Structure 1
Amino acid sequence: MIDYVLFSITTTASTLVNARCYLAPVVETLTELKKEINRCHWEILRRTLFSHIMDVALVKQERGVFDVLLQVYDDGNQWFRIVESTLPFREEDVALILGLRCNGDIVSFKHERDQSMFEQTFLNKMHNRHSDAIKVNLFKLVGSKDDEEETFLKLLIVYFMMTIFFPNTSQNAPRFTATHTNDLTSLGRYSWTHAFTCG
């Protein structure tokens, strides 16, 4: 299994980097959830592409490393410029890092107007889509005794998407995540690495 390393910024960081890339709280949340999830949770999660995300590890890294990487990265061309050379950052690289596939259907970023019961219950209002509200609901669902395993997993994958794959400064889950996570069985048909790099 691939070891996933997420970096914690240990010195003062810019607002943008802190808001979108500071993943220490995410790792802490997943660590606590792992203590509570049951066998049924694992069985459902392993049918998706994202079960390995639960094994993220936290490694502390000085901010200077991130500053250098940001300074040499060309977002328009998607490469790192090192002296006179360029190092492209391709979908294949993202797939290797995240353990996800490159091929598959293109992910739609459009939000379906017809809301599922899952979306109506957990993601309908903006304040419900905030990371704090989603964490509260995750811990409520993981401890429930009334066959809420699949609902918990849908919300967990929304949490993956909003904090790791599609983070934004508002810390709200994008509306399109509800469309894709409502049907867990369809997640495997999409090229998520294409969505991460080109979306």
Structure 2
Amino acid sequence: MAKDAKPAEEGAVAPKKSKKLLIIILAAVLVVVLGGGGAAFMLLKKGDHTEDDEEAAEETVKTKKKDKKKDAHALPVFVNLDPFTVNLVPETGDQYLQVALSLEIEDAQSEPVLKAQMPKIRNNITLLLSAKKASELLPKEGKEHLAEALKDEINSVFEPPKKNKKGELVMPEGPVKSVLFTSFIIQ
């Protein structure tokens, strides 16, 4: 009987080892599957972020447009430029224009960007002013057209104008919202 008991014990031990081995194998397979699934999830989620980034960029553009409308009630920010003195295109002898400008900008954060480009802005303004005739600038409408042309000229320093499908130039929206004359003398 003792001999019969030993094989029974060995048989009983063998199933325990196979169960442990089966559990270890299943645990290893489970770890591999979960690891692969986690990696696949991270890769797929990473691909979704690019789509989310595009959507977020579109939402940011929409938000900026809404913020501009909200900022309409905010206090305006002005940058004063040094006065300009230029010769006008001669009509009845030498004529001069002396003008001082204030620029209304979107926000205070645009001011350092504007000042960094100031030499180019001053050059473009001088060229634009010196190409005008006194008779063009004397009426109120002439001054209003000049203010609009100056605004477009300054904004084009930051973003060049583009042509639309019809071939017309479309002036960019830049940091300058309007140009105001603080002094305007024609002599």
Q: TM-score range by the shorter chain?
A: under 0.3
Considering Cα pairs closer than 8 Å and 6+ residues apart, tell me whether 1 or 2 has the greater RCO: 1
TM-score, reference length from structure 2: 0.23
Structure with max Cα Rg: 2
TM-score, reference length from structure 1: 0.22
Q: Which has the higher strand share?
A: 2
Q: Which has the higher helix share?
A: 2
